[in-house]
Amino acid sequence: MSAPARSDLAAAPADPVGPPPPGRPARRRRLRPGALPVAVIVILLVLPSLIVVPMSVSPGEILRFPPDGFSLDWYRTLFTEPQWTSAMLNSLQVALATTVLAVLIGAPAGLALGIREWRGRGLLLGLVLTPVVAPPVVVAIGMYTTYAQVELIGRWGLIAAHTVLAVPFVVVTVMSAARQIDPTWLDAARSLGASPLRVALTVLVPLAGKGIASGALFAFITSWDEVVVSLYLTDPGFKTLPVQMWNQLRERVDPTVAAVASVMLLITTSAMVAALVIGWRRDGAARENG
Amino acid sequence: MRMRTALVTGIALVTVGGLVGCSGGGDGAGARSLVLVDGGGAYHDAMQQGIIDPFLAGTDIEVTTEAGTDNARLRTMVDANRVVWDVYNGDNTWGTSADADYLEPLDYSVIPQDEILEGYSSEYRVANSIYSIQLAWNTDSVQGTPTGWADFFDLAKYPGKRAVMDYSAGGIFEIALLADGVAPADLYPLDLDRAIAKLDTIKDQLVFWTSGAESEDLVGTGEVAMVMTYNARAYDVAQVLHMPVAYTFNGQILAASYLSVPKGSKHVDEAMEYIAYAVSKEHNGAPSTYSPLAPSNKLATPDATMAEQLPTSHLDETYAEFDDEWIAANAAELEQVYQQWRAS
Amino acid sequence: MAGVLTTLDPTVPGAAVRRPGHRRGLGGALPAVPLLVVLGLLFVVPVAVVVGRSFTYPDGATLANYRTALTDPVARQFAWNTVRTALVVSVASCLLGYTYAYAMYRAGRTVRVLLLFCALLPFWTSLLVRSYAWTVLLRDRGVLNELLLQLGVIDAPLPLLRTSLAVTLGMTQILLPFVILPVYAAMTRFPPDLALAARSLGASRRRVFWEVFLPATMPGLVAGAVLAFILAVGYYITPVLLGGPGDQPIAVLIENAVQQRGDWGTAGALSTLVVVLVLALLALGWRFLAKGLLGARR
């Protein structure tokens, strides 16, 4: 159910900085007629995410909009109540472990898929994608019944399951990045006497670094927001944040869940904005120098 | 290149090996202990304060509690012979003879069966608290005072939406039949055709809720005029959250939460000891201090200030009871008929 | 984070280098072995167990579960709900997604990045909370109805929540990026020379769009549509929370069978049918998906 962007689909290299798009007339200042539908789509995309922020500061015990006042009590609950703090720590733990495992397992496969062409890579890619497209309920009951047989429930069960769900993102993003590596560089490095490990660490990893980093981020988010499979594999003594939110919503629909969502939104938004600003600065600098 | 791939492969395999290797867990057999699982939330808090804490004070048994009863998981545990739960506090649909393969018979030489309300103990389970399904309404949207399920189905007298539990065995057929004039004693076997016909009369006004919190939200905010919900939920939204909600015990359907012991538990003796304590006349009334949960022990004394809110204090009015055995035996058919009606 | 943005933002220059041909045969798969082992043990086996139980539960080899699943009117109804919702949602996502991607394509850099940010925002909000936010927006006494009432547009609240419309809105919001990103990628691959050539031969701008640009970017749209449809088939929480009786997905029956009755036969048969449907769609749409992923040559 949690399904972060398959960003990689957009990662096909392109060069739109080159010639302008087709049929574009001289730059016009007035609003284009297409602006309205786009504005509506933007509202559709962001409204449900933004509305949780005012909902999180409502002092009442019921999740509502508009808020009936202003209070940060729910944030206090979030950062002091053990059930919330432990859920956050558990989620962090599972998501970090998932990220590391998914990168360790997925990056080599992504490099193999991206650098050279070989028979069967289409088939392998198809298999890799199945955890993402398989209906979550089917995956959940299957994992649940098999993992329970070997008591792979709770922390390690969640890490195992999330790794499976997250690894496709790593494979695909690393593959996209690796497609831009020229295999002759590797051969050159090898022929100059570099050991395979050295080639991997000094040539491959830096070149595919961006792909690995974005794959890792998607792995993290996949784990962090996963609900359906987690509900089955969670150990009552080891709950992740989405499971705790699910329980809270079933026990009492109070603004704590909106506070969780707002904190998440704040963190991710500021990280994205920071990334943008850094990117702009670097681009600007490059342009000035170049 | 080959060296590199071998290396990466090796690292990944070791990692996976470590992952699988770490999965085993001890079950803590040996010392006197037990693991108790219930539905969590306000229910658990009432049990913790009313039963578990006093029990711990007077015993050497170590009790670990878990929130999240899950019938499917219990079955899986028993099938795999890896039972980690010792006392299972399930709802009224669990523990009938349909589940005999998954439960240990209770030891009624320790558990005082003769003190338990008629019909609330059987070979594999004993009730530890009584609750009910009742009618509640939003006092801003409803003019007048509904008195039972007939009013729930009377759109002319009480216009507005109604919310029902989205569960075939949760009482939806029962309230339809009660509203249609079936006497509580004649409810079972359920006349499903008749219930469906009655439900059809209000179908376009129905909203289906899937969690108790949702039922409170629906009636509390006035999104629906009336709701069929648990008595503890009606109490919570009206008396704790102070939303404009009132409720009636007339026509309530009594149900119970039950204690049972999963088959293959390694702490059967401790489990029986705990169950005997939880349903004893001395302690069974204690959770009612914290939540409107009625004692199942006839001789137990509930909290005086809560007495008016307990389903068992209103048995002079009309009430019905679930026939859990019949429901369990016909679960698949109920679900089939329900989903077909709901989806059509 | 910067990595994601650059991966997502195809303005980063750098064209794929040419791959050497089939040099290595199956040997190239060696680094993927750990992945195969993990997926095999932790994913394929669990799904296979569910599929297997559809043939063995409750007692011995049987096809009875499939007979039940295929003839049961409830299962048919829920299957239809699932497929219908997925169809509507993928069509809506395609229409909106293409418009949006085109706007991104035509926009300047700043606006493009902003639009990209908005498209990805849903991913940074918990799925559970997002669904509840929709209920707050759409309920009878919700934000939208109150707004319309106060503006005097309507006299009585519109039934919005627990309708197919709510499901379509909620799921389209989540699935839009899956269409936007491949479509946008396809647009950036479009050679502008082609449009210039068509224009110089006298084609109107409108005609260039419909007869040159749209067909050229169609593979991206098909890829997005297939992805949106497949993902929508598996969606469960959103339709349950936002939909009415006619929107309940097949996943509900699977879950109820397992949770309430321990009926692995029915659950297994329904699961198998859904998995077969998804795999068939994946195979059908593979040409388009693989083009985006593997970068098949033009």
Neighbours of C13 (CB within 10 A): 11
pLDDT > 90? residue A198:
no
Residue at C144 is within a domain: yes
Q: Is C139 on the interface with B (CB under 8 A)?
A: yes
Angstroms from A54 CA to nearest CA on chain C: 11
Q: What is the ipTM of this complex?
A: 0.87
Q: DSSP letter at B297?
A: B
Of B174 and A114, the structure prediction assigns the larger pLDDT to B174
How do residues B321-333 score in pLDDT, each as one tens digit? 999 999 999 999 9
Q: Best mutation site among B23, B88, B89 for testing chain A: the one with the most A CBs within 10 Å?
A: B23
How many Å apart are CA C218 and CA C183, to the nearest integer?
8
Residue written as token pair 């009612």? B288
Residue at C102 is within a domain: yes
Q: Best mutation site among A239, A250, A257 for testing chain B: the one with the most B CBs within 10 Å?
A: A250
CB contact set of C68 (below 8 Å; sequence gap of 6+): C75, C265, C266, C269
How many Å apart are CA C32 and CA B167, to the nearest integer?
46
Q: Is B6 on the interface with C (CB under 8 A)?
A: yes
Angle between the N-to-C axes of helices A209-224 and A82-115, in degrees from 0 to 180, rounded to the nearest 10? 140
Q: DSSP letter at B81?
A: T
- What sign results for the dihedral spanned by CA atoms C168, C171, C176, C182? negative
Pairing relation of β-strands B319-321 and B162-165? unpaired
Q: What are the structure tokens assigned to C121, written together?
A: 């925002």
Residue at C45 is within a domain: no
Return the closest-CA partner of residue B51 out of B257, B248, B193, B198. B257
The count of structural domains within chain C is 1
Angstroms from C274 CA to nearest CA on chain A: 8
A146 vs B contacts (CB less than 8 Å):
none
A–B: how many Cβ contacts below 8 A?
A: 102
Residue type, A236: P
How do residues A244-272 score in pLDDT, each as one tens digit? 998 888 888 888 999 998 988 888 778 77
How do residues B242-254 score in pLDDT, each as one tens digit? 999 999 999 999 9
Q: What is the mean pLDDT of residues B213-231?
A: 94
How many Å apart are CA B297 and CA B303, to the nearest integer?
14
Q: Where residue C253 sits, what CATH number does that domain have? A: 1.10.3720.10
Distances (CA, A) of B272 to A116, B28, B58, B104, B323: 65, 18, 15, 10, 25
**What string of DSSP letters covers chain A?**
------GGGGGS---TTSSPPTT--S---SPPTTHHHHHHHHHHHHHHHHTHHHHHT--SSS--SS-SS---HHHHHHHHSHHHHHHHHHHHHHHHHHHHHHHHHHHHHHHHHHHS--TTHHHHHHHHHHHHHS-HHHHHHHHHHHHHHTT--SHHHHHHHHHHHHHHHHHHHHHHHHTTS-HHHHHHHHHTT--HHHHIIIIIHHHTHHHHHHHHHHHHHHHHT--HHHHHH-BTTB--HHHHHHHHHHH---THHHHHHHHHHHHHHHHHHHHHHHHHHHHHHHHHH-
- Assign A67 a pLDDT band (cuts: 50, 70, 90): confident
How do residues C153-178 score in pLDDT, each as one tens digit? 999 889 899 999 999 999 999 899 88
How many Å apart are CA B202 and CA A143, to the nearest integer?
41
C31 vs A contacts (CB less than 8 Å):
108-109, 111-112
- Within 13 Å and on the Cβ side, how many CA atoms surround B262? 30
- Going along chain A from its start, the domains and CATH numbers come out as 59-289 (1.10.3720.10)
Q: Best mutation site among C33, C158, C247 for testing chain B: the one with the most B CBs within 10 Å?
A: C33
pLDDT > 90? residue B220:
yes
Angstroms from B13 CA to nearest CA on chain A: 8
Structural domain including C170 reads 54-294
- Going along chain B from its start, the domains and CATH numbers come out as 33-130+256-312 (3.40.190.10), 132-255+316-343 (3.40.190.10)
Residue at C126 is within a domain: yes
- The backbone region for C62, taken as left when phi is positive above 0, alpha when psi lies in -120 to 50, beta otherwise, is beta
Q: What is the pTM of this model?
A: 0.86
Which of A37-51, B152-166, C140-154 has the highest average model confidence (pLDDT)?
B152-166
A–C: how many Cβ contacts below 8 A?
A: 403
Distances (CA, A) of B162 to B187, B205, C249: 22, 6, 23
How many Å apart are CA A99 and CA A223, to the nearest integer?
8
**What string of DSSP letters covers B241-288?**
S--SEEEEEEEEEEEEEEEEEETT-TTHHHHHHHHHHHTSTTTTTGGG
CB contact set of B204 (below 8 Å; sequence gap of 6+): none
